[in-house]
């Protein structure tokens, strides 16, 4: 069963206005994205910085305003809910942020930070019951419950990210949007946090939308992977399909950039992309990837590829996919 259904979602930011206050130029951060997340499933969302993946995650939890499209979570259209209804729906939909320090109030103790969602949603019973629940949550994410009265600055980056996970778990959500939750951490700490998320999923039946730029991390945790480029999905399939036999040239380039543990691996086989991601303020005509694509043909400069299904069940937006 689909827990989350995103249909043709667009998030545009006006950057220039005319004398009447109407936008004359917009940044197309997310430009027509459709995806689903099933109960108990992890969907990895990958792409270079600036591709719109974090904006998509924030829009799904309604921290960004939608330009167009719909978001259905557990049967509710989040785009049509008022403030009170949205707060109630958010109990089942939580988010863990990229910066584990910036997302925690430095003036509050860890106990207050983890307890706050329970107070907002009227959960946890009386004060003593909430304190016991905070103790349980801290232990569940691998932190010493005796540290509950300390402040965020007294913890390491990995410990602060565990605090963010505990806060998200406080309201017993069904889906958690993980926005680059390991990108600011050391490699060894990344593995610990990823293994913790996998353990919590198995224990609690959680679903994740796991946003990252490292395909190696995403492959380890995800059942399906969605690849974004310049605000659009360019490839979607199972973890094995995307990471073992990628079709889109951009996906191949992302995989090629993953460091190899073999020091003798040939560098000649690596796919090197020229230039940077084009500006979403003025995207190129035709296929958005064609200015950097090593396989681009003349038709790629004028025709916009649709995200269409392949015979193996994946979806790819490439005019040359069958070739």
Q: In this predicted model, what pLDDT tens digit does every residue of 82-96 receive, in sequence order?
A: 888 999 998 999 999
Q: Is residue 62 part of a domain?
A: yes
User: Is residue 25 domain-resident?
Assistant: yes
Which band of pLDDT confidence, cut at 50, 70 and 90, is reported for residue 15?
Answer: confident
Secondary structure class of 75 (helix, strand, coil): coil
* Tens digit of each residue's pLDDT (9 = 90 or more) over 102-111: 889 999 999 9
Q: With contact defined as beta carbons under 8 Å apart, do 317 and 232 qualify?
A: yes
How does pLDDT run across 167-196, given as a tens digit for each residue?
A: 999 999 999 999 999 887 888 889 999 999
Residue 262 lies in a domain: no
Q: What is the pTM of this model?
A: 0.91
Residue 164: give its domain's CATH number. 3.40.50.300
The neighbouring-strand residues paired with 12 are 28
Distance CA 106, CA 194 (A): 25
Taking residues 228-241, report their average pLDDT.
Answer: 95
Q: Is residue 267 part of a domain?
A: no
Range of the domain at 125: 2-247
Give the C-alpha separation, 149 to 87, whole Å: 27
The mean per-residue pLDDT over the stretch 14-37 comes to 87
Number of domains into which the chain is organized? 1
Q: If we measure between CA atoms, which residue out of 55, 7, 31, 43 comes closest to residue 226?
A: 43
Q: How high is the pLDDT of residue 6? A: 97
Question: So what's the pLDDT on residue 240?
Answer: 94
Confidence of residue 264 (pLDDT cuts 50, 70, 90): low
Q: Which residue is associated with the tokens 């990471």?
A: 243
Asked if residue 122 belongs to a domain, the reply is yes
DSSP annotation string for 101-162 = TTTS-TTS-HHHHHHHHHHHTT-S-SHHHHHHHHHHHHHHTT--GGGTTS-GGGS-HHHHHH
Give a yes or no: residue 232 inside a domain: yes
């Amino acid at each position: 069963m689909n827990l989350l259904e995103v249909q043709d979602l667009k998030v545009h930011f006006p950057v220039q206005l005319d004398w009447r206050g109407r936008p004359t130029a917009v940044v197309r951060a997310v430009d027509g994205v459709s995806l689903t997340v099933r109960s108990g499933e992890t969907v990895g969302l990958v792409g270079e910085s600036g591709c719109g993946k974090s904006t998509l995650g924030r829009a799904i939890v309604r921290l960004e305003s939608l330009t167009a499209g719909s978001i259905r979570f557990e049967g509710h259209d989040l785009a049509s809910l008022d403030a009170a209804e949205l707060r109630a729906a958010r109990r089942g939909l939580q988010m863990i942020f990229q910066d584990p320090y910036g997302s925690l109030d430095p003036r509050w103790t860890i106990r207050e930070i983890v307890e706050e969602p329970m107070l907002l949603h009227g959960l946890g019973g009386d004060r003593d019951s909430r304190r016991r629940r905070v103790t349980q949550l801290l232990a569940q994410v691998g932190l010493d419950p005796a540290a509950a009265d300390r402040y965020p600055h007294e913890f390491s980056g990995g410990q602060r990210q565990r605090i963010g996970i505990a806060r998200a778990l406080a309201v017993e959500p069904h889906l958690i949007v993980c926005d680059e939750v390991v990108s600011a951490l050391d490699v060894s700490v990344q593995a610990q946090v990823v293994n913790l998320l996998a353990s919590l999923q198995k224990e609690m039946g959680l679903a994740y939308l796991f946003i990252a730029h490292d395909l190696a991390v995403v492959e380890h945790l995800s059942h399906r992977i969605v690849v974004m480029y310049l605000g659009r999905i360019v490839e979607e399939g199972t973890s094995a399909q995307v990471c073992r036999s990628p079709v889109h040239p951009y996906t191949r380039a992302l995989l090629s950039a993953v460091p190899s543990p073999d020091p003798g691996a040939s560098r000649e086989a690596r796919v090197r992309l020229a230039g940077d991601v084009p500006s979403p303020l003025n995207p190129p005509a035709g296929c958005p990837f064609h200015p950097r694509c090593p396989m681009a043909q003349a038709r790629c400069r004028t025709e916009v590829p649709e995200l269409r299904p392949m015979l193996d069940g994946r979806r790819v937006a490439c005019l040359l996919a069958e070739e």
